[in-house]
Amino acid sequence: MINSRRKFIRKALATPLLFPILGEDLFLKSLFPDSDIKIALQCVSLANKIFSGKMSILDFPRMVREDFNIEAAEYWNVPLIEKRKDPNFIKEIINKTNDYGLKNTIMLVDLYDLQTKKTKNICDSDKKIRAQAIEEYKEWIDIAKNIGCDSIRVGLWSKSMNGGEVKKISQEGLNKLLEYSSSINISILIENHGGLSADGSWLVNLIKSINHPYLGTLPDFGTSNFCIERYPLSQNVFDYDGKCVNQYDKYKGVEQMLPFAKGISAKSINFDKNGEELNTDFGRMISLIKSYNFKGFMSIEYEGAFSGYLDNHDGILATKRLIEKYL
């Protein structure tokens, strides 16, 4: 679609004067103004600093604005778990958000037990665990609403590869969450996050079957995010030790998810000497996203610091430059 449009423009609209003077990229931008895509920062990008005690999650709003000149913040619930019931803590997040003039967008929610290191999901084969997951998600929906977010991301990671069974269980859980979240104007987003949720066709089929205005997708660029199966079998969504034996094409998956997208996770890990991300062709991804007229926030999710690549600060800025280059 993008290549066809470019060929048409070259032939039909590139005048002898404008095209050589402006160059192809500037000429195209003059014809097709930038889409309404804005940049947010996901706090996962600073997770190793938060968990090592080098910074507090309460430092995050200031850093978003002052260190990176970004106008929107995206949260992850795990750094908030221990203080989530403290009203003063939540109030301080709200105050700092207002102080720095930020928009809080999405809260990524993983029902992670800090003691057992296990996660809960609404598509778990155990009915009791599913019921617990729904109640815990409701708590995070309230917290997200209180700090000004407009949506939460839920997990649909499951050990089972029985698509029909997992779909049925997921429908039940999502409908219960949507009944609650929609009453307070909070959307429920599903990210490609391993297991069947990494299968774009399966995920879109699930979204269509529910057909709810407060249900959407959160496409993530991550290669690991599009791994359907690992061997040996992972015990929870954070286990990446097993080898991926069923990898879904990330570009196909993102394109399938885009018609339902209410956010974008621009995951990055490592860069070459020209500043291009080594695992994802950002130019290709962003062209694809713009071709669907996506309007909303694209969040920087830099995870390279965990692996010893660029530090958090430099990795976030490298990702920001790359997004701005192709927007």
pLDDT of residue 172: 97
Q: Across the beta sheet with 296-302, what order do the strands follow?
A: 215-218, 187-191, 151-154, 103-108, 72-76, 37-42, 296-302, 264-268
pLDDT of residue 157: 86
pLDDT of residue 119: 87
Distance CA(11)–CA(19), nearest Å, equals: 11
At 63 the three-state DSSP class reads helix
Contact 278, 270 (CB under 8 A): yes
pLDDT of residue 101: 98
pLDDT of residue 9: 36
- The C-alpha R_g of the chain, in whole angstroms, comes to 20
Distance CA(194)–CA(234), nearest Å, equals: 10
CB within 8 A of 261, min separation 6: which ones? Answer: 216, 217, 218, 219, 292, 294, 296
pLDDT of residue 117: 80
pLDDT, tens digit, for every residue of 265-279? Answer: 999 999 999 999 999
How would DSSP label each residue in 68-119? T--SEEEEESGGGGGGTT-HHHHHHHHHHHHHTT-EEEEEE--EE-TTT--E
Closest by Cα among 227, 148, 238, 231 to 184: 148
Q: How far is CA 148 from the centre of its chain?
A: 17
pLDDT, tens digit, for every residue of 152-200? Answer: 999 898 888 999 999 999 999 999 999 999 999 999 999 999 999 999 9
Please state whether 185 falls in left (phi above 0), alpha (psi between -120 and 50) or beta. Answer: left
CB within 8 A of 47, min separation 6: which ones? Answer: 76, 78, 79, 306
Contact 54, 277 (CB under 8 A): no
pLDDT of residue 234: 60
- Taking the domain 37-326, which CATH number applies? 3.20.20.150
Tokens in use for 274?
């020209």
pLDDT of residue 118: 84
Query: Domain coordinates of the chain in residue numbers?
Result: 1-33, 37-326
Q: Name the β-bridge partners of 215.
A: 188
Please list the helix, strand and coil fractions of the chain in percent, rounded to the nearest 5, in that order.
50, 20, 30
Contact 108, 77 (CB under 8 A): yes
Distance CA(29)–CA(24), nearest Å, equals: 9
Taking each helix axis as running N to C, give the angle between helix 163-181 and helix 200-210, from 0 to 180 degrees, rounded to the nearest 10. Answer: 50
Contact 99, 70 (CB under 8 A): no
pLDDT of residue 237: 56
Q: Which portions of the chain are predicted below pLDDT 50?
A: 1-23, 25-33
Distance CA(327)–CA(325), nearest Å, equals: 6
